[in-house]
Structure 1
Amino acid sequence: MTPSSMRRRALKGALACAFASALAFPAIASDAVLRVSAIPDEAPTELQRKFAPLGKYLEAQTGMKIVFTPVSDYAAVVESLATRKIDLAWLGGFTFVQAKIRTNGTAIPIVQREEDAKFTSKFVTADPAIKSLADLKGKTFAFGAPSSTSGSLMPRFFLQQAGLNPEKDFKNVAFSGAHDATVAFVAAGKADAGVLNASVWDKLVEAKKVDTDKVHVFATTPPYFDYNWTVRGDLDPVVVKKLTDAFLKLDPKNPEHAEIMQLQRASKFIPTKKENYEGIEKAAHSAGLLK
Structure 2
Amino acid sequence: MHLIHRSFSRRALLGAGLVLSAGLHLPASAQSQVFRITAIPDESPTELARKAEPLVKYLEKTLGMKVEFTPVSDYAAAVEALVNKQVDLAWFGGFTAVQASVRSGGKVLPLVQREEDSKFRSVFITTDANIKGLADLKGKTLSFGSQSSTSGHLMPRSFLLKASVNPDSDLKRVAYSGAHDATIAAVASGKVDAGALNISVWEKFVADKKVDTDKVKVFFTTPPYFDYNWTVHADMPAAQRDKLQKAFLALSKDTPEGQQILDLQRATRFVPTNMDNYAGIEQAARSAGLLK
Task: Show CA shifts across 1:32-82 (max 9, x none).
Answer: 311110000000110000010011001111001111110111000111111
Per-residue CA deviations over 1:124-181 (Å, capped at 9, x if unaligned) read 0011111111110100000000000000000000100000000111100000000000
Q: Which amino acid aligns with 1:44?
A: P
> SS at the partner of 2:113?
strand
Quote the Cα distance in structure 2 between the aligned partners of 1:147 and 1:29. 31
- 1:1-291 aligned within 5 A: 31-291=32-292
In the alignment, structure 2 segments of 5+ residues that lack a partner are 1-28
Q: Which runs of 4+ in 1 moved over 4 A?
A: none
| More deviation, 237-246/36-45 | 237-246
The structural deviation recorded for 1:30 is: 5.5
Which is greater in Rg? 1
Residue 172 of structure 1 aligns with an amino acid whose one-letter code is R
Residue type of the alignment partner of 1:39? I
Distance 1:253 1:218 in 2: 36
Q: Residue type of the partner of 2:258?
A: H
In the alignment, the residues of structure 2 paired with residue 159 and residue 77 of structure 1 have an alpha-carbon distance, to the nearest angstrom, of 27
What is the CA-CA distance between 1:236 and the residue it aligns to? 2.1
Task: Determine the C-alpha separation between the residues in 2 that align with 1:32 and 1:261.
Answer: 27
Quote the RMSD (CA, aligned, Å): 1.1
Worse-matched range after superposition: 229-238 or 213-222:
229-238
The code of the aligned residue for 1:103 comes to S
Output the CA distance in 2 between the equivalents of 1:223 and 1:83: 32
CA distance in 1, matches of 2:74, 2:256: 34
Amino acid of the residue matched to residue 99 of structure 1? A
Distance 2:206 2:148 in 1: 24
In 2, the alpha carbon distance for the partners of 1:29 and 1:43 equals: 29
Q: What TM-score comes out, normalization by structure 1 length? A: 0.89
Percent identity over paired residues: 62
- Structure 1: which 5+ residue stretches go unaligned? 1-27
Shift, 1:254, TM fit: 1.6
SS in 2 for 1:256: helix
Q: Paired residue for 1:17? A: none
How many residue pairs get aligned? The number is 264
| Residue deviations 1:83-116 (CA, integer Å, cap 9, x gap) | 1111100000000000001111010000000000
How far apart, CA to CA, are the structure 1 residues paired with 2:31 and 2:50? 27
**Quick one: distance in 1 between partners of 2:56 and 2:31?**
19
- Give me the whole-angstrom Cα distance separating, in 2, the residues matched to 1:84 and 1:256: 29
Counterpart of 2:26 in structure 1 is none
Return the alpha-carbon distance in structure 2 between the equivalents of residues 121 and 30 of structure 1. 37
1:29 Cα deviation after fit: 8.7
Instruction: Give TM-score, length-normalised by structure 2.
Output: 0.89
